[in-house]
Structure 1
Amino acid sequence: MAYEQRSAGSGKHLRDAEDIAAGGAELAPEAPAVLLAPLLAQFAAVARLEHVTRAAAELAMPQPTLSRAVARVEQDLGVALLAREGRTVRLTRAGRIFLAAVERALAEVERGAEAARAEADPVGGRVAFGFLHTMGTEAVPTLLRGFRVEYPKVRFQLVQDYTDSMLQRLREGELDLCVVSPRPDGPELTSRRLGEQRLRLVVPVDHRLASRQRVRLGEVAEDAFVTLEPGYGLRRITDALCAEAGFTPRVSFEGEESETLRGLVAAGLGVAVLPPATAPRPDVAELRLSSPGARREIALAWVTGRALTPPAEAFRTYVLSARERLPFHS
């Protein structure tokens, strides 16, 4: 299964295929492109065959209707494109210039249509899937490996970002689905619970509390904290837990990725509230927090009422069916 990955922090892309990018100016209702768009293919057929009757037969439309359509193109442009010679026609110099542009435009539309169909192809289409940085080590690879057993040709655009940004991308249509925490509110988004993780207080292995199994967050009120940046769901949970414990954390470093924060903790630069590590590190200790609120809910989210493409629908169904096997139940 081919995929491309994008990290919000770096802005870099890993692509398995060439992206199709397009941009254009807003068109006024009287713009030639708006007026002529439905007629271009008809003009091109007449110009290519140099015969109105044969072009009408090819397009399966009445000859008088086609003649009026070509005349309408000339009228809207204010220039003669065809010279009539009995039942045949030939392009004028202006007509040749215009036909070259029309053929390029029609070819581009056809390429766009093919790309749109490929995007939604049930077997080989593409899914735009967002997830938290902490999901990239184990959970997301597990999902993709299981899904590709049945859908080996589906491609993925993978976006790692923080929750608020991913939900905005979801609303704007850039993403089909995303795994976030906390679970989003509001009727414009639908979400389903995937699991819940108990959070840990991560301290250096030589920290005064490192030998403990369980601690109260208030016991590190005077310690420096390393945290995720504002906007991350885990940062909001950390701030709320500290407020519940009666203090505001003294933040010494902010980052975008939990493993980086673990490295900062190991270097003695602070303590952190994080989900359990995928693989234990010998240079930090992960302690249970006594607060019942020291947990985060993981959810799959999508836009309410917006139809998903067949591959995205298939992936959503798979994720929800596989939720009990994911590492979201610590």
Structure 2
Amino acid sequence: MDLLQLRYFRAVARYEHISRAAEELRVAQPSLSRTIARLEADLGTPLFDRQGRRIRLNQYGSIFLRHVERALSELDDGRRALADARDTGLGRVSVASETLLTISPLLGSFRAAYPRADVRLHQSNAEEMDRQLRAGEVDFCVASQPLTGANLDSIELAREEVLLAVPYGHWLDGRESVTIREIADEPFVSTRRGHWQRTLLDRLFEAEGLTPMLSCEGNEPAASQDMISSGLGIGLIPAISRKAGTETRVPVAWVHLDAPGCSRILTLVWNRDTYLSEAALRLREFITSRPLMTHRLPIPRHGNAPDPA
């Protein structure tokens, strides 16, 4: 058993698909299959159930994967610790966030305060962030929905209202608030399942025994306001977007949604069992000592700037 076999096994276990794992590892599929077969022979037990070309991690593979991930994480932490020790800077810190608008200004301020820190930013949904934390690919996640993986710690950063954005001239333009039942037949612009906006939309409608009608669903949350402004539907947009002044670039009208829990809770999440560089430790302190946003905001009329926070 060697380190290469373990890394190959982890990739195959992650995808449960030889060709996808081979593509990520940049190796030939036959070579990858032979490596997995040798590992199983060394261990004396199959790690995958095979049905034709399909493979599934079996109970023995699941047990082994937990230990492999822990071992590889320790080795990766050791490599990073050595790099930090010989580096004149603060080391690298990687952050994943569901929406970049929320965290980008704060990371910009951090880089200005600590120019020697190597800051990396990734955009990921909740499922991807959970995997990235377990694999040690990122140090922190700024999550808009709960991450429930083992060994995760978190700090609540902020709570903000989520508003309903509608095109100018829409029948809701000028309304202060609206209920879910009043907009049950409206076409919605939203993200695909896995993103927090879609999770919130489905939950609000499910509470009323309804299902939202989708006119558009995609993977780019930042594009939602543009599509709403173009008249393709209405949608849920976090209040920070209006505070940031995006309506001057992408004009929409804002309406409060009269529904319990129509808000976003932002948390900073990390894996307590992984190594954190000096840059990561300083970023955690930097983020948790600064407020990100306020709560409920008044709805401005056309042409008026939002009230200052």
* Bucket of the pairwise TM-score, normalised by the shorter protein: 0.5 to 0.7
How much does 1:306 deviate? Answer: 2.4
Which residue number in structure 2 is paired with residue 77 of structure 1?
A: none
Q: Which amino acid aligns with 2:255?
A: L
Partner residue of 1:319 out of 260, 265, 287: 287
User: Residues of 2 paired with 1:116 and 1:308: CA distance?
Assistant: 8
Which residue number in structure 2 is paired with residue 192 of structure 1?
A: 155
Taking only the aligned residue pairs, the percentage that are identical comes to 31
Partner residue of 1:128 out of 94, 104, 111: 94
Deviations 1:183-217 (A, max 9, x none): 32354211110001111111111111111011112
Whether contact under 8 Å (1:298, 1:328) holds in the other structure is no
User: Residues of 1 paired with 2:205 and 2:264: CA distance?
Assistant: 15
User: Residues of 1 paired with 2:26 and 2:116: CA distance?
Assistant: 25
Which residue number in structure 2 is paired with residue 295 of structure 1?
A: 263
User: Residues of 2 paired with 1:289 and 1:198: CA distance?
Assistant: 9
Larger Rg: 1
Whether contact under 8 Å (2:90, 2:277) holds in the other structure is no
Whether contact under 8 Å (1:170, 1:303) holds in the other structure is yes
Q: Which amino acid aligns with 2:286?
A: Y
SS in 1 for 2:204: helix
Which residue number in structure 2 is paired with residue 306 of structure 1?
A: 274
SS in 2 for 1:299: strand
Partner residue of 2:215 out of 252, 263, 279: 252
Partner residue of 2:82 out of 108, 112, 117: 117
Match status 1:141 vs 2:104:
yes
How much does 1:320 deviate? Answer: 1.2
Structure 1 unaligned runs (5+)? 1-20, 30-112
With structure 1 as the length reference, what TM-score do the two structures score? 0.61
Structure 1's consecutive aligned runs of 4 or more residues displaced over 6 angstroms after TM superposition are 21-29, 113-116
Structure 2 unaligned runs (5+)? 1-24, 40-77, 297-309
Two-structure CA RMSD over aligned residues (Å)? 2.8
Which residue number in structure 2 is paired with residue 56 of structure 1?
A: none
Deviations 1:41-71 (A, max 9, x none): xxxxxxxxxxxxxxxxxxxxxxxxxxxxxxx
How much does 1:328 deviate? Answer: 5.7
SS in 2 for 1:297: strand
Structure 1 stretch displaced more, 236-245 or 141-150? 141-150
SS in 2 for 1:236: helix
SS in 1 for 2:293: coil
Whether contact under 8 Å (1:201, 1:287) holds in the other structure is yes
Whether contact under 8 Å (1:179, 1:299) holds in the other structure is yes
With structure 2 as the length reference, what TM-score do the two structures score? 0.64
Which residue number in structure 2 is paired with residue 167 of structure 1?
A: 130
Partner residue of 2:143 out of 174, 180, 187: 180
Which residue number in structure 2 is paired with residue 210 of structure 1?
A: 173
User: Residues of 1 paired with 2:203 and 2:188: CA distance?
Assistant: 14
User: Residues of 2 paired with 1:295 and 1:217: CA distance?
Assistant: 14
Residue 184 to residue 219, structure 1, CA distance change in 2 (3 Å): same
How much does 1:223 deviate? Answer: 0.9
Deviations 1:218-250 (A, max 9, x none): 211111111111111221111000112331011
Whether contact under 8 Å (1:164, 1:232) holds in the other structure is no
